[in-house]
């Protein structure tokens, strides 16, 4: 079965959205940002959902949005940083799906999150670096279940995208020789 769906996972600030958009462009596929889909389906921003209804309510909306997006073919999905960090998520992807972990450390993740300015309720508080480090350590074992890992620190969006494309081609050729 050839690759018909790519799911990008990883921590906040890993570059899932920007790389996902670039990757979809180069593949000629559709791009879905699951956070944007949650907001569109709920008619509210993520900060509003967290503020009014809490994280659990957000996770349910996120699960539904990701499942909806996963029905498509020739699609690249950028998931939110918490989506993959739930038991069994990466082990039960539909056939034809490849998962890619975009790796970033806590300090760089925070720098990027501050730079791009989107509200990340989970990083708000007195000591964002401590929060980010703790959350990241908890999540790494989940992210490690992805099919591939690509480091993003010190690499441009273009480099990361090219590396993912190379890996996808390797997958396709392995399948071709089976």
Residue 43: CB minimum distance to ligand S3P, A: 17
Residue nearest to ligand S3P (CB): 80
Distance CA 120, CA 114 (A): 9
Q: Tell me how crowded residue 160 is: count the other CB atoms within 10 A of its CB.
A: 22
Residue 172 CA to residue 33 CA, distance in Å, equals 25
78 or 164: CB nearest ligand S3P: 78
Nearer to ligand S3P, 86 or 169 (CB): 86
Residue 156 CB, shortest distance to ligand S3P, in Å, is 19
Inter-residue contact 33 to 78 (CB < 8 Å): yes
Nearer to ligand S3P, 137 or 169 (CB): 137
Per CB under 6 A, residues contacting ligand S3P are 12, 16, 35, 46, 80-82, 120-122
Q: What does the alpha-carbon distance between residue 10 and residue 8 come to, in Å, rounded to a whole number?
A: 7
The Cβ of residue 23 has, within 10 Å, a number of other Cβ atoms equal to 23
Residue among 70 and 169 whose Cβ is closer to ligand S3P: 70
CB proximity list for 90: less than 8 A, separation 6 or greater: 9, 84, 99, 142, 145, 146
Q: Return the DSSP state at 103.
A: E
Closest CB to ligand S3P among 14 and 164? 14
């Amino acid at each position: 079965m050839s690759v018909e769906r790519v799911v990008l996972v990883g921590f906040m600030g890993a570059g899932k959205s920007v790389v996902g958009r670039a990757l979809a462009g180069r593949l000629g596929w559709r791009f879905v940002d699951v956070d944007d889909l949650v907001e569109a389906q709920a008619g509210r921003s993520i900060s509003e959902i967290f503020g009014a209804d809490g994280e659990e309510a957000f996770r349910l909306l996120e699960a539904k949005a990701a499942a909806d997006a996963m029905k498509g073919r020739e699609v690249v999905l950028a998931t939110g940083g918490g989506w993959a960090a739930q038991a069994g998520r990466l082990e039960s992807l539909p056939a034809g799906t490849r998962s890619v972990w975009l790796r970033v450390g806590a300090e760089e993740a925070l720098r990027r999150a501050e730079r791009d300015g989107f509200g990340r309720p989970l990083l708000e508080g007195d000591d964002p670096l401590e929060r980010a480090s703790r959350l990241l350590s908890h999540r790494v074992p989940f992210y490690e279940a992805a099919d591939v890992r690509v480091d993003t620190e010190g690499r441009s969006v273009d480099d990361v995208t090219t590396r993912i494309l190379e890996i996808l081609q390797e997958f396709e050729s392995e399948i071709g020789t089976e």
